[in-house]
Homo-oligomer: A and B are copies of this chain.
Amino acid sequence: MGLTKTDIFTAEQNRVADLAKAFAHPARVAILQLLAQRKACVCGDLVDELPLAQATVSQHLKELKRIGIIRGDVDPPRVCYCINEPVWNEARQTFGALLDSIMAVDCCETC
């Protein structure tokens, strides 16, 4: 991401940014949609559904796990990925609150 200065922003701002990153790549959106709709679950099935190499899908899954929005339950040799509902709900709450926090008044006569 380049040299982001995460230390100079609030924990909340950094968390919002991280949750947004889960959705900030079309492949991850596709993965999260497949999981949320229960259209796929096992890593291999996700790879079959997506026009990306297995390593690439695995990398996206790793990022989603880092953020916490998905879980990965091992059932050797498979891994079943699911939405991690508490974090999914955190995302809904976070984006909902943020997007509802807009003031109705205009800022100045220019706008």
Binding site for B on A (CB under 8 A): 1, 4-6, 8-10, 13-14, 16-17, 19-30, 32-33, 35-38, 41-42, 51-52, 71, 73, 75, 78, 80, 82-83, 85, 88, 91-92, 95-96, 98-103, 105-108, 110-111
**Which of B80, B85, B95 interacts with A95 by CB under 8 Å?**
B95
Query: How many monomers of this chain does the complex have?
Result: 2
What residues on B are CB-neighbors of A37 within 8 Å? Answer: 101-103
Question: Does B36 contact A101, Cβ atoms closer than 8 Å?
Answer: yes
Question: Does B41 contact A26, Cβ atoms closer than 8 Å?
Answer: no
Question: Does A16 contact B29, Cβ atoms closer than 8 Å?
Answer: yes
A108 to B105, CA, bound (A): 49
